[in-house]
Copies of this chain bind each other. A is one copy, B any other.
Amino acid sequence: MIQERLEKLRQAMRERGIDCCLIPTSDYHDSEYVSGFFRVREFFSGFTGSAGTLVVSLREAALFTDGRYFIQAERQLQGTGIRLMKIGEPDVPSLKDYLDQTLQEGECLGLDGRVVKARDAAQYEEILGRKHGRLSWDQDLAEGIWEERPRLVHQPVYVLEERCSGESTASKIARVREKMKEEGATVHILTTLDDIAWLFNIRGNDVKCCPVVLAYAVITMEKALLFAREEQAAAGKEAWSSQVQSYLEENGITLLPYEDFYSHISALHGEKALLCLERVNCRVKKELAEDVEIIDKSNPTTLMKAVKNPVEMENLRVCHLKDGVAVTHFMYWLKTNVGKIPMTELSAADQLEGLRRQQEGFIEPSFGTICAFGANGAIVHYSATPEDFARIRPEGLLVVDSGGHYPEGSTDITRTFALGPLTGDMKKHFTLVLKAMLNLKSTRFLYGCRGLNLDVRAREALWEYGLDYKHGTGHGVGYLLNVHEGPNGFRWKMVEHEENAVLEEGMVTTDEPGLYIEGSHGIRIENELLCRRGEENEYGQFMYFEDLTCVPIDLDALEPSLMTDTDRARLNTYHRQVFERLSPYFEGEELAWLKEATREI
């Protein structure tokens, strides 16, 4: 099937004079997760992971993806003829180097400029320039080939009340304008959906699990334009209720059709446009007139949004407690029923979602649950499907990585559960991963540190044993928004143009080391951490992390002999806190179990 599709694609390429085409995983807004309409890379390659770039020339095809997806991509690409390029592995060229090798003198590279970052496209043009080739940036290559392509939908929009957001839209826009003044900008072009949703205090459902609204925004000192309305919505299907429209009007925001954005920006003249070339797509840059000066900076909203305000912080504590109650009920259900009732990766995930739904205000999962049994746990972003899933047996380990959206915020939590007898290695690995997680979250540090400085606090526990995990240690989390949101994160490798922000009070970052033994087992343990100010003294401002996540760590998987006194004290303190916060929501046998599950070791 994939080979047939690729054949059709190459036919279309020949017709259009394209020698090579590039199909990334994105929408028009540089989103990480995309709705069905945008899953072109998946359509042409069969690879369903959330990250990957497909390059198809008339001669060969290659898919670039990262360490989270090596095992999954290997499986899914079998028989397609597509070469898997494991990013970061020795002898694997970067995408840019690969294009440099693949593109011949005078060739044409085709892509849809709306789904490629402006900065990336500029790099491809640099390569093409050297080869006297050209970039054709208006090629939506799925058109005419992907017959059953889903529609681009605009779902109903709602306003996030100030008791949730903690700050009015007017105040947020005023802060953005302050920042524009500082940068000498007269207009700000904003295309990233999480930034737009945050800035306008609106939420929607245009991407599965991401409560964003498909929209572009243009801010000037006088106006705030929101390009988001479907021009010809079916009767009664208008995404923008009159209530929401009034709210926008009250806040001085003009709602315009989604489709009008490009013609609007192409009509700008003599402006100084603040925009982020790392985030806007290639077409945005191409549409701007030559007399528009680009001020290439991070979107001001990115940092503002990452620093949660006091109302958001307080709400997050509430939402994590609700979520913790649901996940802990799940843990009890899982541990007491495994081997007694039939259970699969899918039914267990359903059970967990059902428990979350019982929590007040629960909206939807914040991403597709990863429920991976045994060897499946070694696939970092495993996803069971109705066609391919495992039965859960009373043995080994189960990794469950899941989260929920609530009016009080979004959660992301991973626990690894012992379902029966474990090997010595499993216990050792679980304990090392736990030590890594505890190490990082207990770090006290001086203001000014970035995730880059602190990532090693987690990895040291594994590196000591010659072990590692091929993913970042953590990422920022949005507030009822995207579950992966920068600019904060825990990573150790420096990547050009990748932000690794100074950790500010109010930032939420996950702490999720793991260990993946192919064909055997996987482990990941994840808490969300809220960055807080501690003591300020002559050495500077000290910072620490507050645990948001409130769910027991499975003591059945622990090898206590590997825990130092410090490790034990950290775990016991966490469990004491978990019991104190959760116990009011449990009773009878389940409460007794919780007491035992959070016992001192």
The 9 closest A-B pairs by CB, nearest first: A468-B539, A453-B492, A444-B463, A453-B456, A466-B535, A444-B464, A445-B463, A466-B542, A466-B537
A449: nearest chain-B partner, CB-CB: B492
Residues facing B in A402-450 (CB within 8 A) are 443-446, 448-450
Say whether A582 faces chain B, with CB atoms less than 8 Å apart. no
A63: shortest Cβ distance to chain B, in Å? 21
Q: Which residues of B contact A464 (CB under 8 A)?
A: 444
Q: Which residues of B contact A566 (CB under 8 A)?
A: 564
Interchain CB contact under 8 A, B564 and A468? no
A500: nearest chain-B partner, CB-CB: B494
Task: Name 8 extra pairs, CB < 8 A, besides A444-B463, A453-B455.
Answer: A444-B466, A445-B459, A445-B463, A448-B492, A449-B492, A454-B456, A467-B539, A470-B539
Q: Which residues of B contact A443 (CB under 8 A)?
A: 456, 460, 463
Q: How far is the CA of A540 from the CA of B468 in the complex (A)?
A: 9
Q: How far is the CA of A537 from the CA of B464 in the complex (A)?
A: 13
Q: How far is the CA of A456 from the CA of B470 in the complex (A)?
A: 21
A465: nearest chain-B partner, CB-CB: B444
Of A456, A459, A470, A535, the most chain B CB neighbours within 10 A belong to A456
A193: shortest Cβ distance to chain B, in Å? 29
Residues of A near any B CB (own CB < 8 A): 443-446, 448-450, 452-457, 459-460, 463-464, 466-468, 470, 492-494, 534-535, 537, 539-540, 542, 564-566
A207: shortest Cβ distance to chain B, in Å? 33
A4: shortest Cβ distance to chain B, in Å? 36
Q: How far is the CA of A20 from the CA of B444 in the complex (A)?
A: 43
Q: Which residues of B contact A494 (CB under 8 A)?
A: 450, 452
Q: How far is the CA of A492 from the CA of B454 in the complex (A)?
A: 9
Q: How far is the CA of A543 from the CA of B566 in the complex (A)?
A: 26
Q: How far is the CA of A452 from the CA of B492 in the complex (A)?
A: 9
A502: nearest chain-B partner, CB-CB: B494
Q: How far is the CA of A456 from the CA of B539 in the complex (A)?
A: 15
A457: shortest Cβ distance to chain B, in Å? 7
Cβ 8 A contact of A449, one of B454, B456, B537: B456
Cβ 8 A contact of A564, one of B450, B455, B493, B564: B564
Provide a sorted-by-A list of 21 A–B residue pairs whose CB atoms are within 8 angstroms: A443-B456, A445-B456, A445-B459, A445-B463, A446-B468, A448-B493, A449-B456, A449-B492, A450-B494, A452-B452, A453-B453, A453-B455, A453-B456, A453-B492, A456-B456, A456-B457, A463-B542, A466-B534, A466-B535, A468-B540, A564-B564
Interchain CB contact under 8 A, A463 and B492? no
Q: How far is the CA of A463 from the CA of B447 in the complex (A)?
A: 11
A131: shortest Cβ distance to chain B, in Å? 17
A320: shortest Cβ distance to chain B, in Å? 26
Interchain CB contact under 8 A, B460 and A446? no
Q: Which residues of B contact A493 (CB under 8 A)?
A: 448
Interchain CB contact under 8 A, A457 and B455? no
Cβ 8 A contact of A463, one of B446, B452, B468: B446
Q: How far is the CA of A233 from the CA of B535 in the complex (A)?
A: 62
A11: shortest Cβ distance to chain B, in Å? 40
Q: Which residues of B contact A459 (CB under 8 A)?
A: 445-446
A472: shortest Cβ distance to chain B, in Å? 13
Given A454-B456, A456-B454, A564-B564: A539 in contact with B466 (beta carbons within 8 A): yes
Q: How far is the CA of A511 from the CA of B534 in the complex (A)?
A: 27
